[in-house]
Amino acid sequence: MLGAIHPLLFPAVGGLFLLWLVPSAADRSARGAEPPTIDPFGPKPAVREEALPGYVETSDGAVHPGQVYLTRDVRLKVFDEKLQRQREVPWSAVTQIQCLVKREWLEKEWEFKQAASSEKVFTGRSYPAREYVHTITLRDGRTITGPLSTIIYVRPDGAAAGQPGAYPAPAKPEQHLLHKRDKGKAGDDLQALVYVKLIKLGDKALAEGRKKAAERRSKRDTKAP
């Protein structure tokens, strides 16, 4: 049985009749409200569900507050130096990532003396090189220390659009790389090789990041002529 049906008879076309079946109000009520229509071509959410408030601070003193997240469906993969094994850490379990410089130096640049020769000669230039180790602090207070390499995204703060955590579509996320080992351009010094020094997550961290960023802008504006 299809419930209450109202037949509407349309004029005959070629000897055939068309019957339009319309569910009654009682039938619609019995089946409940229709689910909302989803537009597959509608705008995507501006902030990812797994994004956490916080900030990224780099070695040159720049502070980037906002919504911080990883590549979708990716976990932090770190070699735990204490346990001597690889570990995967979900982003939701992290409160802080601190980077420490394990070793840094200026590497001499060499090039082949001739195209078909195996002999190399020093160019007279050097490039900065550095090795890092990261300490991840979890929400329960435990820490994991070891080499870490991944991409961190930050949806810039200060572009809220009507509700907390929402950003307009034009705002593009920043990308920051965490390295196990990195090198710069020939002729640069170690200071020119900028790296992610600290990542802090949580509402308090976001407030702290905003304050740090504001103080840095204030100092820069004061020095400006």
Give the count of domains, the chain: 1
Which residues does residue 110 pair with via DSSP β-bridges, in sequence order? 122
| pLDDT recorded at residue 21 | 43
| pLDDT recorded at residue 224 | 66
For residue 128, pLDDT over 80 is answered with yes
| Percentage above 90 pLDDT, the chain | 58
Residue 81 lies in a domain: yes
Measured CA to CA, the distance from residue 187 to residue 107 in angstroms comes to: 10
Tokens representing residue 205 in the block: 């961290």
| pLDDT recorded at residue 170 | 47
Residue 123 lies in a domain: no
Q: How confident is the model at residue 18 (pLDDT cuts 50, 70, 90)?
A: very low
- Which helix H or strand E contains 28, and what residues bound it? helix 25-31
Can you give the residue range of the structural domain that contains 139? 54-104+132-223
| pLDDT recorded at residue 50 | 87
Q: How confident is the model at residue 46 (pLDDT cuts 50, 70, 90)?
A: low
Residue 68 lies in a domain: yes
Measured CA to CA, the distance from residue 19 to residue 2 in angstroms comes to: 15
Residue 215 lies in a domain: yes
Residue 4 lies in a domain: no
Q: Is the dihedral of CA 79, 82, 85, 86 positive or negative?
A: negative
Average pLDDT, the chain: 81
| pLDDT recorded at residue 225 | 66
Residue 34 lies in a domain: no
| pLDDT recorded at residue 213 | 94
Residue 16 lies in a domain: no
pTM for the structure as a whole = 0.72
Q: How confident is the model at residue 102 (pLDDT cuts 50, 70, 90)?
A: very high
Tokens representing residue 43 in the block: 């705008």
